[in-house]
Every structure is written in C-alpha cells, then in structure tokens.
C-alpha cells in the first residue's frame, strides 16, 4: 500500500509541475521579442497615419493577444487603410477586414471598431500559434489557413504574396 500512495503522490506532483512549466513556457513565448527567425529580421515599424482612437484600440488588442504591435498596425493599414466602414469585394468588414463567418466564430461584431480590432488581433494570434511564423500567419489571415496548409507555405496567389510583402516591408 505504501508504494501505491508514493506513486500517486509522485504522479500528482508531476502533474502540478507539468502545469506550472506549461504556464511558464506559454508566458515566455508570449513575451518573446518581435522577431521571426524565418524572416531573419525584425518586424518593420508602423509609420503610417491613423486616427489616434483606432491606433490605441489596435495597440491594446495586439498587446492582449501577444501580436507585435507594429505588425498589427501595418495589417490594419493594408486591410482597410484605417476605414472602419470598409467592405471588401469578398465581403470582409471593418478595420481588420473580418469575414462574417470569422467574426461569428470569434464572437465579435465586425461593424464595431473595437470588436473588429479585437477579433482581428485574436485571429492573427490564432494563426501564429498554428503556423509558428508571422509570415505564414499573415498568409493564413489573407488566404485562409487551408490555403497555407495546402501549399505548404505562402500560397502562390499574387494577392497573398503582395499582402505578406507589404506588411513585412519587402516591397
């Protein structure tokens, strides 16, 4: 009986340590510098113009979800040019150009600027956790994660390649 109790105590302690280590790892990943080894360079600074209220909302949403602020600001500039009423030819809505189904999945109102930015930052963070690369996360944000999976990287669509390049500063 003593052996069984010792083994149970050991397993219990191991579970506690595993959960603590997992939490610490997640926090260290969240605080990792804004550097993508696949890019070989830091993410370029956002230097565009935007209404201060939207800049503040976007910065806060990016911080909350562990997205590099400059990357998210550049994404919003490319997606909507900071127009909260922008609607794309494909039906994407608002500042972060959320598709209606994506907004539903995220539980946000895409017509509300604060919720739209919150949803956009959360969705980009989801793609980063999935692909472990900001380059691929941006491609998935633009073309969809299935396209990135199907092509094993940035899809060979001119729009997506230009999108990633514009945000990451390569042209």
CATH number at residue 91: 1.10.530.10
Q: Are residues 27 and 49 in the same domain?
A: no
Q: Which two tokens stand for residue 20?
A: 């603590």
Residue 43: what pLDDT?
87
Report how far residue 52's alpha carbon sits from residue 119's, in angstroms, rounded to the nearest whole number. 19
Say which residue, 73 or 25, is predicted with more confidence: 73
Assign residue 145 a region: left if phi > 0, alpha if psi is -120 to 50, beta otherwise?
alpha
Q: Are residues 23 and 53 in the same domain?
A: no
High-pLDDT (> 70) share of the chain, %: 80
Q: Which of 68, 82, 90 is nearest to 137 (CA)?
A: 68
Name the active-site residue from 69, 79, 118, 159: 79
pTM confidence score:
0.76
Domain with 159, as residue range(s), is 43-168
Domains held by the chain: number? 2
Q: Are residues 103 and 160 in the same domain?
A: yes
- Mean pLDDT computed over 69-78: 98
Q: Are residues 157 and 111 in the same domain?
A: yes
Residue 171: what pLDDT?
52
Annotation marks residue 159 as catalytic = no
Report how far residue 114's alpha carbon sits from residue 58's, in angstroms, rounded to the nearest whole number. 8
Residue 36 maps to a domain: no
Residue 37 maps to a domain: no
Residue 99 in this model has a pLDDT that exceeds 80: yes
Q: Are residues 89 and 132 in the same domain?
A: yes
Q: Are residues 47 and 6 in the same domain?
A: no
Residue 139 maps to a domain: yes
Say which residue, 13 or 122, is predicted with more confidence: 122
């Amino acid at each position: 009986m003593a052996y069984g109790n010792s083994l149970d105590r050991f397993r219990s302690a191991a579970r506690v340590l595993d959960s603590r280590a997992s939490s610490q790892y997640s926090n260290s990943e969240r605080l990792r510098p804004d550097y993508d080894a696949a890019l070989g360079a830091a993410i370029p600074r956002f230097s565009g113009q935007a209404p201060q209220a939207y800049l503040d909302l976007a910065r806060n949403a990016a911080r909350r979800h562990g997205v590099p602020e400059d990357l998210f600001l550049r994404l919003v500039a490319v997606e909507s040019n900071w127009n909260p009423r922008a609607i794309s030819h494909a039906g994407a809505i608002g500042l972060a150009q959320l598709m209606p189904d994506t907004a539903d999945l995220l539980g946000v109102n895409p017509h509300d600027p604060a919720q739209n930015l919150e949803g956009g930052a959360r969705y980009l963070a989801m793609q980063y956790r999935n692909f472990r690369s900001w380059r691929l996360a941006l491609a998935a944000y633009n073309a969809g994660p299935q396209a990135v999976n199907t092509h094993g990287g940035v899809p060979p669509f001119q729009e997506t390649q230009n999108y990633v390049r514009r945000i990451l500063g390569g042209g």
